[in-house]
A and B are shown apart, each in its own frame.
Chain A
Amino acid sequence: MDQRYLLGNEAIALACLESPVGFVSGYPGTPSSEVIEILAAHPDRSSYVEWSVNEKVAFENALAAAWCGVRSLVTMKHVGLNVAADPLMTSAYTGVTGGFVIMSADDPFAHSSQNEQDSRMYAKFAKIPCFDPSTLQEAHDMVKDAFALSEELGLPVLFRPTTRICHSKSNVTVGPVLPYSGKGEFHKDPRQYVVIPAHTRILHRKLNEKQPAVRKRISESGYNQYHFRGKRAIIASGIAAAYVQEIIPPDVSFMKIGAYPIDEEWLAGFVRKHQEVLVVEELFPVVEEAVREVAGTVTVFGKKTGHAPYEGELSPENVARIMEACGFSPAVHYTSVQPVPDLPPRPPILCAGCMHRPVFYAIKKIFRDGIYPSDIGCYTLGLQLGAVDTTICMGASITVGSGFSHAGEERDIVATIGDSTFLHTGIPGLLNAVYNGANMTLVILDNRTTAMTGHQPNPNTGCTVCGGLSPQISLEALCRACGVPHVETVDPYDMVMLTATLKTAKSLPGVKVVVAKQPCVITARRAGVRRGTYRVDPDICTGCGTCIKFGCPAIEQQDEKAWINDLCSGCAVCAQICPAGAIGREGSR
């Protein structure tokens, strides 16, 4: 046993190696991505690890391994579970023989997400157990128990950490990494694995019959606990339990929920010993609804009484405010303070030299009155450049574009999507757009990586997460195979060619694809690419502001003139857009 200062996702990854896990797959998504990266890079790993092309693909791969008796993990962020929901729902019917843990990391406050959904609801929906850690140590221990419980019950187990678990740190006690030496073997059993109606009706009944055993084992797991202290109680789950524990007064009872489904009798026994109960949890009122079902005459405070929010994440100070509002005086009082007003914001921004910026600049110039559906990735930051009109979920730039086209919209439609997102769920949308005769231009922003989540490789990168080489795929050939008649590839740093290519696409009917290809500037720098930097000649600069509005973090304004700082990566795009010709290569003038 070893004490270490670990990131939540590191504690989760180490628990997998201690279990030991035999098969791991997933698709990157903040805050879940580090688990697979850490597993793949671990020197003592003996399990198979892959980045899959999307969450459904990852889920089904891991499920098959679990059907072979192999302990399997699949990782994703909460919205990824929507993509994997189809196999999820029926995997509860078929069950598993090897422990199968589904990690779906939730993101209350949508720090880096398009919504704030609650994966606990999926576990309820699928009728499978769910673990919801409140500390990093618990996250670590739960993963190990989840594998064992999954095997014992023959059911997938959903593990749902939140951002404040995945991306927080703590001292954690970890155990030894164990070698995985098993070999998967599938035993044919059509009544279990072929879900034709005749089989699935029986499987559904069996799943329902398992539920009492599931509740009993959850009660015995030790992750749902209480301390009886008085006539009033607070019940909390997940990270909110940690916030409550820090400030709960000594005469208030405390219950922590970390595992679902909650045993009703056990819960009723606790709730009915009190006069008032406050439920504190993030997002959906999962615990609160369970408490209300058994509360009888006990007063229950929570989201449904308006005391706690349905949205956003909780924090020590807003948990204290919720307690105060319900008459539970917290043991620590936080003074109400306000941030200094009117400071200039510093939002995340596309990097200096990012290939997305010139593409957005050119799209806005060529398709001046166009509509710009976009997608999920770094390039969503193109919003700041006025070149992103819609983003809803992975792959939807293309489908929203074709939908606009068929809805009667007569303006030019220019969709943007990254290479990883295109391979994730973009291809069916493109196929559909061509098949149904949409009029639109698709620009694939091909930087050869999954940049936003931390540069994970994808089939377009040429290597796998464990470093093996993979076959080169051709985005152009993929698009042509979908039936796209016009596919052109262009270097986005070459403004003349980029502009000409977009103009050609604009002039043609149907679905047109432009592949803008340049490596991500961060991966290029790591690979040793160095271009000369650029500077502004102050005698020529007219201070027109064209380069300033381009929004590159390397370009500053000093005394009404532009000035290039040391972030310059030498993409040379600003030199090409400067109307005065004032920007040149360093040392060339």
Chain B
Amino acid sequence: MRDSYDIMIVGIGGQGTILASNIIGEACILEGRTVRGAETHGMAQRGGSVESHVRIDGKFGPLIAPGSADLLIGFDLLEGLRYSHFLRPDGKIVLSERLVIPTSVYVQGLAIPTPEELIKKLSRLNLTLIRAEEVAKEAGSILASNVVMLGAASHQIPLDESSLVHAVQRLVPKKTIEINTRAFTLGRNVGPGC
């Protein structure tokens, strides 16, 4: 009976996970499909780890069970790894190469994780790494990294490219429509399956 396509979008509070999941939700509305989503608000936003769940064609609850997500989009290497167990065995992960070391690591004197070791721990998965910030700069603003990531993952998402682009244009601030549209396209060009 499970007939939804389940996407997790993870990152750090402030990186734009909510906007990315809203774009997917809006694209579902444009295509007349049902959708469910869940996100982190409140205390968890203050620079903490955040997760958005989006279930395309979802008709029941908003939460994705661990081991059952079809796609994981990560805006930070460490956060991608933290939520990687949510993926189903044949799921795909599209991950930004960015790594922000949690302040707790320095304060508590923990071992500082390196990109290489985090990527190594993800090697068993169907992983694509994206230089999201570089691509976003090329599009016109580093702030569009989240839309770059969405573009890069978009080949996997069972929604029309035109619906996603239309949703981007509906939801981003007016002044940034051009940059974000370019960010989506440039992201799409470097994503897996293009």
Interface size on B, residues (CB 8 A): 58
B182 interfacial contact with A, CB 8 Å? no
Q: How far is the CA of A402 from the CA of B107 in the complex (A)?
A: 32
Least distance between B81 CB and chain A CB atoms (Å): 6
Q: How far is the CA of A425 from the CA of B40 in the complex (A)?
A: 28
A246 interfacial contact with B, CB 8 Å? yes
| Residue pair B36, A170 in contact (C-beta under 8 Å) | yes
Q: How far is the CA of A164 from the CA of B37 in the complex (A)?
A: 9
| Residue pair A331, B81 in contact (C-beta under 8 Å) | no
| Residue pair A5, B26 in contact (C-beta under 8 Å) | yes
Q: How far is the CA of A167 from the CA of B79 in the complex (A)?
A: 21
Which residues from A are CB-within-8-Å of B177? none
Partner of A111, one of B25, B36, B43: B43
A519 interfacial contact with B, CB 8 Å? no
| Residue pair B1, A346 in contact (C-beta under 8 Å) | no
Which residues from A are CB-within-8-Å of B63? 164, 243, 315-316
Which residues from B are CB-within-8-Å of A346? 12, 47-49, 78-79, 82, 102, 104
Q: Please, what's the 1-or-0 string for B113-133, where 1 marks a CB less than 8 Å from any CB in chain A?
A: 100000001000000000000
Least distance between A492 CB and chain B CB atoms (Å): 18
Stretch touching chain B among A117-125, A337-345, A509-517: A337-345
| Residue pair A169, B37 in contact (C-beta under 8 Å) | yes
Q: A31-B41, A334-B68 are in contact. Are A347 and B104 (CB under 8 A)?
A: yes
Measured CB to CB, the nearest residue on chain A to B108 is A344
Q: How far is the CA of A168 from the CA of B51 in the complex (A)?
A: 12
Q: How far is the CA of A75 from the CA of B67 in the complex (A)?
A: 37
| Residue pair A246, B2 in contact (C-beta under 8 Å) | yes
| Residue pair B12, A555 in contact (C-beta under 8 Å) | no
Least distance between A352 CB and chain B CB atoms (Å): 9
Q: How far is the CA of A350 from the CA of B26 in the complex (A)?
A: 32
| Residue pair A4, B38 in contact (C-beta under 8 Å) | no
| Residue pair A350, B61 in contact (C-beta under 8 Å) | no
Chain B positions 13-54 with a Cβ under 8 Å from a chain A Cβ:
13, 21-22, 25-26, 28-29, 32-49
Least distance between A241 CB and chain B CB atoms (Å): 9
Which residues from B are CB-within-8-Å of A348? 13, 43-48
Q: Please, what's the 1-or-0 string for A150-192, where 1 marks a CB less than 8 Å from any CB in chain B?
A: 0000000000000010011111000000000000000000000
Q: A5-B29, A246-B61, A343-B81 are in contact. Are A168 and B36 (CB under 8 A)?
A: yes
Q: A164-B38, A349-B103, A557-B112 are in contact. Are A243 and B26 (CB under 8 A)?
A: no
Measured CB to CB, the nearest residue on chain A to B62 is A168
Partner of B46, one of A350, A552, A557: A350
Which residues from A are CB-within-8-Å of B59? 246
| Residue pair B29, A551 in contact (C-beta under 8 Å) | no
Q: How far is the CA of A49 from the CA of B47 in the complex (A)?
A: 31
A332 interfacial contact with B, CB 8 Å? yes
Which residues from B are CB-within-8-Å of A332? 1-2
B110 interfacial contact with A, CB 8 Å? yes
A239 interfacial contact with B, CB 8 Å? yes
| Residue pair A344, B60 in contact (C-beta under 8 Å) | no
| Residue pair B35, A344 in contact (C-beta under 8 Å) | no
| Residue pair B1, A246 in contact (C-beta under 8 Å) | yes
A335 interfacial contact with B, CB 8 Å? yes
Which of A168, A239, A338, A344 lies at the interface centre, i.e. has the most chain B CB atoms within 10 A of its CB? A344
| Residue pair B101, A556 in contact (C-beta under 8 Å) | yes
| Residue pair A335, B60 in contact (C-beta under 8 Å) | no
A297 interfacial contact with B, CB 8 Å? no
Least distance between B58 CB and chain A CB atoms (Å): 8
B85 interfacial contact with A, CB 8 Å? yes
Q: How far is the CA of A66 from the CA of B186 in the complex (A)?
A: 55
Least distance between B68 CB and chain A CB atoms (Å): 6
| Residue pair A337, B66 in contact (C-beta under 8 Å) | yes
Which of B45, B47, B48, B62 lies at the interface centre, i.e. has the most chain A CB atoms within 10 A of its CB? B62
Which residues from B are CB-within-8-Å of A111? 40, 42-44
Q: How far is the CA of A167 from the CA of B68 in the complex (A)?
A: 21
Q: A239-B61, A332-B2, A334-B66 are in contact. Are A344 and B104 (CB under 8 A)?
A: yes
Give 24 CB contacts A-B under 8 Å: A5-B25, A5-B26, A5-B29, A111-B40, A111-B43, A164-B38, A169-B37, A169-B38, A242-B61, A243-B63, A246-B1, A315-B63, A332-B2, A336-B67, A339-B85, A344-B104, A344-B105, A346-B48, A347-B49, A349-B48, A349-B104, A351-B47, A452-B42, A555-B106
Q: What residues of chain B have their CB less than 8 Å away from a CB belonging to chain A? A: 1-2, 12-13, 21-22, 25-26, 28-29, 32-49, 58-68, 78-79, 81-85, 101-107, 110-113, 121
Q: What residues of chain A have their CB less than 8 Å away from a CB belonging to chain B? A: 3-5, 30-31, 111-112, 164, 167-171, 239, 242-243, 245-247, 315-317, 320, 331-332, 334-340, 343-351, 378, 381, 384, 452-454, 548-549, 551-553, 555-557
Q: Beyond A169-B39, A351-B46, list 12 extra A-B contacts (CB 8 Å).
A: A30-B41, A111-B43, A111-B44, A169-B35, A170-B35, A320-B65, A335-B67, A345-B102, A346-B49, A348-B44, A348-B45, A349-B46
